[in-house]
Amino acid sequence: GENVEQHPSTLSVQEGDSAVIKCTYSDSASNYFPWYKQELGKGPQLIIDIRSNVGEKKDQRIAVTLNKTAKHFSLHITETQPEDSAVYFCARREGGRRALTFGSGTRLQVQP
């Protein structure tokens, strides 16, 4: 599948601040956009996802927004905590294909 561009590659915030990570894609057939959190030594953990028929989804401190016209989607974490420190990956799945294509990852550091 075509690549997913993810920015920034690293992000450092103070505890309590918000963090935003953005991904862009080019394939208009993409219809599913999950976000994963990967802690050191562990496998990626699905934290939130959004489908192409929805513009925004929220789960407590985490939200994802999707702009299909501009072909980008973003992860928003509010009131960040030190335990939010991890590498975050966006991904996309295009229609007719089951596997995911991943972004390059963002290392988030929340400073206490």
Partner 1 sequence: SAVISQKPSRDICQRGTSLTIQCQVDSQVTMMFWYRQQPGQSLTLIATANQGSEATYESGFVIDKFPISRPNLTFSTLTVSNMSPEDSSIYLCSVEGTGDNEQFFGPGTRLTVL
Residue 109 touching partner 1 (CB under 8 A):
no
d(CA 81, CA 112): 8
Q: What is the full DSSP assignment across the chain?
A: ----EEE-SEEEEETTS-EEEEEE---TTEEEEEEEEE-TTS--EEEEEEETT-SEEEETTEEEEEETTTTEEEEEE-S--GGG-EEEEEEEEETT--S-EE---EEEEEE-
Taking the C-alpha atoms of residue 73 and residue 92, their distance in angstroms, rounded to an integer, is 10
Question: Which of these ranges, 22-30, 58-66, 76-84, 96-104, lies near partner 1 under the rule CB under 8 A?
Answer: 96-104
Q: Does 34 bind partner 1 (CB under 8 A)?
A: yes
Residues 14, 40, 43, 112: which binds partner 1 (CB under 8 A)?
43
- Of the pair 20, 32, the CB lying nearest partner 1 is at 32
Decide if residue 88 touches partner 1 (CB under 8 A): no
Query: In angstroms, what is the minimal distance from the CB of 87 to partner 1?
Result: 9
**Would you count residue 104 as binding partner 1 (CB under 8 A)?**
yes
- Which positions from 6 through 25 interact with partner 1, judged by CB under 8 A? none
- Which residues make up the interface to partner 1 (CB under 8 A)? 32, 34, 36, 41-46, 49, 89, 98-105
